[in-house]
Amino acid sequence: MKTLNLGIVAHVDAGKTSLTERLLFAAGVLDEIGSVDAGSAQTDSLALERERGITIRAAVVSFVIDDVTVNLLDTPGHPDFIAEVERVLGVLDGAVLVVSAVEGVQPQTRLLMRTLRRLRVPTLVFVNKIDRGGAQYDGVLRSITGRLTPATVAMGSVSGLGTRGAAVTPYGATDTGFTSRLVDLLAEGDDALLAAFVQNEAAVSCCRLLAELAAQTGRGRVHPVFFGSAITGAGVDALMAGIARLLPAREGDVDGPVSGTVFKVDRGPVGDKIAYVRMFSGSLHVRDRLQVRGHDEKVTGIRVFDRGAVVRRASVLAGQIAQLRGLHGVQIGDVVGLPSPTSTRDVRHFAPPMLETIVVPVRPADRAALHTALARLAEQDPLIALRQDEVRGEISVSLYGEVQKEVLQSTLAAEAGIDVTFSETTTICIERPIRTGAAVETIGADSNPFLATVGLRVEPAPTGTGVQFRLEIELGSMPYAFMRAVEETVHATLRQGLAGWQVTDTAVTLTYSGYWARQSHAHGTFDKSMSSTAGDFRGLTPLVLISALQQAGTRVNEPVHRFALEIPAETYGAVLPALAQLRGVPDPPTAQGTAYLLEGTIPASQVHALQQRLPRLTAAQACWSPLSTITNRSTAVPPPEHGPTPTHWTAVRTCCAYSDESDECRVMELSPDLSRLTHANGRVDAPSAGTAGRATVDPT
């Protein structure tokens, strides 16, 4: 039997989970349709999902249409959980994009469709809620064609629009308007079809058109549009027929090499890891051994999704999705066997989270348990990027938005029994070196308490290149373990630069090295005081690197969002000054009837402020769409109102920054007890909770 791995994606409240319930009911998997509002939806299994009525984690459920086994992946619609959608995209054979007939195309819809088209995921569009008051047909079609993709064709008509009795009539061979639209649309991608139609219209049958529609839909060129209601079931049969006939179900190559991708990691009742794997080829059996992150691990259990249930099996075959147990070190994105040609590991489809917050336990005694609980949550969502400041004992995480913070708080309380609060959410910035800096510490010097010599040079590198580690010494000049210790420590140290942010786009070169070889006393016992170890290099490298970084200086930059903004033409004069005030840079506007389409860039920290102003400036008619986050181009953070002194500093031995007026370096010294920083121009207080691990400068 053929298998189709199908994703259901949508903006929040489009009725995506309700459509999943209706499909399962129509396929005979459910005897009764669950309700999102009542908390009885099959795919909303988390207590928090049932309580809030939103999907937080991607869920898998299986059913059969004709001769096709459909593994349906229900994904979150809220933008704060876009990472869950991203992890699913790499394992899909096709998708259904749900649009509300009432609210129409939303910014999240545009973002999803743009990504699906870029990845060439065959996609059907389902316009839901035709039974709701205010539902539209022609208006939504125009919006889909104008704002999502022009290559669309409606697959049926609607009667009783906006009423409980709304019904869908699929188009057929006798609907000349439908066949004419098909010919026009499909001929653009098939010269043979165009030539046949020009030569003899009657020779191009409806069957041939539908076959070509399936082919071009499978290539991601054309997107059929279905109408219906998940609540009443209208149009759902036509959608199910379209899923089976238009999307590319395949028979997997079970005899090929083992190839799969881990797209989700969960924990079982006893805390054991469960890896969700999409198999692209080959087969896996219980007790098979796999290489997972350099370790040999054994598959101890396999469960396959089958007709609404998760069934224990001895093997999982190509095309199927399964839960694997026994892989203790597995992480999201890991490849099982050989990489798939369509593998999207380490590929970003959406912008990474650009906000961060400090998680503070209400009970200080819970601090260790909090780190363990957050580490488990990071297994399920690696993008929260769990970080711990060892000096202050602060734990910070990355976020997409405030709803995600609420979910973290509820999850920690429900699953770990830990009550937490959060610091104010801040934008994640980066630091880049301004110029070249170098430093060296030699064995035996009074300033060097370690048995190691390390010299490092820090230089700016091209934007987007990250951190590059280079050698200017001979490979054999000291043991490999010592070199490795220096390299690893360089990367670890640069996670917090002079201003407390990660340092990137820099080249760090090891210029000097030295060590004392293993020595012992006459009676043969090893003497640590006479011999260098990797620990000496791990201890000395941060001191040398920070000194070199001080000479180079760093500039704090914040991420820039690229956006699309659709506004009524008459509000353009009011929106433009607001954009300029928030440091937005718009491109020339594009006229779209009575509206203007503005694209441009704006600092990430100003996005929320702009979104709050737009409803008032545009009479709630603005449509904001984030296009991307430009991670390889940032805008320098402006100085505070009281002067050029930076407002955030990290607790390192010494820090410096360059003023806007000159290149003079202002050095800050940290007292031994880490309780105070002194500054040539004033007093600097030690960091407090809520400053994201960065001390603040008092200009006095």
What are the domain boundaries of the chain?
2-172+222-246, 259-337, 355-428, 431-552, 555-636, 654-698
Q: Which residues are CB-contacts of 465 (< 8 A; sequence separation ≥ 6)?
A: 505
Is residue 543 classed as helix, strand or coil in its secondary structure?
A: helix
- Cβ within 8 Å of residue 369, ≥6 positions away: 361, 416, 418
pLDDT at 349: 53
The third-level CATH classification (topology) of the domain covering 555-636 is Alpha-Beta Plaits (3.30.70)
Show Cβ contacts of residue 36 under 8 Å, excluding neighbours closer than 6 positions. Answer: 17, 18, 21, 44, 53
Residue 401 confidence (pLDDT): 75
Distances (CA, A) of 78 to 13, 43, 47, 521: 8, 16, 17, 67
> If 0-12 CB within 10 Å is exposed, 13-18 middle and 19+ buried, where does residue 626 land?
buried
Q: Which amino acid is at 169?
A: T
pTM: 0.69
Q: Position 506: which residue type?
A: T
The CATH T-level fold of domain 355-428 is: Alpha-Beta Plaits (3.30.70)
Residue 266 CA from chain centroid, whole number: 18
Q: Using an 8 Å Cβ cutoff, are 698 and 647 in contact? A: no
- Shared fold status for 355-428 and 555-636: yes
pLDDT for position 159? 95
CATH 3.30.230.10 for the 431-552 domain, yes or no: yes
Q: Is the dihedral of CA 24, 29, 30, 34 positive or negative?
A: negative
The string of DSSP letters for 126-171 reads EEE-TTSTT--SHHHHHHHHHHT-S-EEE-EEEESTTSTT-EEEE-
CATH architecture of 2-172+222-246: 3-Layer(aba) Sandwich (3.40)
Contact partners, residue 492, CB within 8 Å, separation at least 6: none
The token pair at 158 is 């609607």
Q: Could you name the CATH architecture of 259-337? A: Beta Barrel (2.40)
Q: Could you state, in chain order, the average pLDDT of each consecutive group of 10 residues for the chain (700 residues)?
A: 89 86 88 65 55 65 90 74 73 93 85 83 95 94 89 94 94 87 86 76 79 92 95 95 93 87 85 89 92 85 87 91 90 83 52 82 91 86 77 82 82 89 86 94 91 96 91 89 95 89 93 82 59 92 95 89 85 92 90 82 84 86 69 45 31 30 31 30 32 32
Q: Return the DSSP state at 663.
A: -
The SS3 of residue 82 is helix
